[in-house]
Every structure is written in C-alpha cells, then in structure tokens.
Amino acid sequence: MRAIDNEIGRIFALEALAPYLPPDLHPQALEAVRAISDKRWRARALAALALHLPESEQPAVWLEALDADHAIV
C-alpha cells in the first residue's frame, strides 16, 4: 500500500485488501492508516480495518475511529 502515492487510493486499497490481510500485516496496516492526514478518511480506514482485526484489538481501533470522526469539524 505504501507504493500508492495517492492517500485516497491507499484507503481504497486497504478497504479492498483488509479482509485478506494476514495477521502479521495488521500492525503495518494500522501504521499506514494512522498516517492518513484527513480525519474523515482516517476514520473510514480504521473502521474498515477494525472489522478484520482479532476481537481483542477491535475495541481500541473502533474507539480510535470514533475519535477521528468526532474530531471532524
């Protein structure tokens, strides 16, 4: 995903690939999502990824997505 220069393109790629990411790539995917500058798109990408994380990790990522969403003004 890092090879995609366009931030929105990376988000769409993540949304498409999230169901197929092996667990060892989840930390890298989260790192890439957290680097998204636009809060609206970051919230969307976090939500897309959260659906496919282990249940133990999901609550924290959902909260992070909500925080990003609530920060949109």
Q: What is the pLDDT along the chain (73 residues), one digit of tens a residue?
A: 556 668 888 889 999 999 999 999 999 999 999 999 899 999 999 999 999 999 999 999 999 999 988 877 6
CB within 8 Å of 63: residues ≥ 6 apart: none
E strand or H helix at 32, and its extent? helix 26-34
Assigned domain for 58 exists: yes
Assigned domain for 14 exists: yes
Assigned domain for 1 exists: no
How many domains would you assign to the chain? 1
What integer pLDDT is reported at residue 28 of this predicted model? 94
Domain that holds residue 12: 7-70
Assigned domain for 2 exists: no
Assigned domain for 43 exists: yes
Would the pTM count as exceeding 0.95?
A: no
What integer pLDDT is reported at residue 9 of this predicted model? 87
Assigned domain for 65 exists: yes
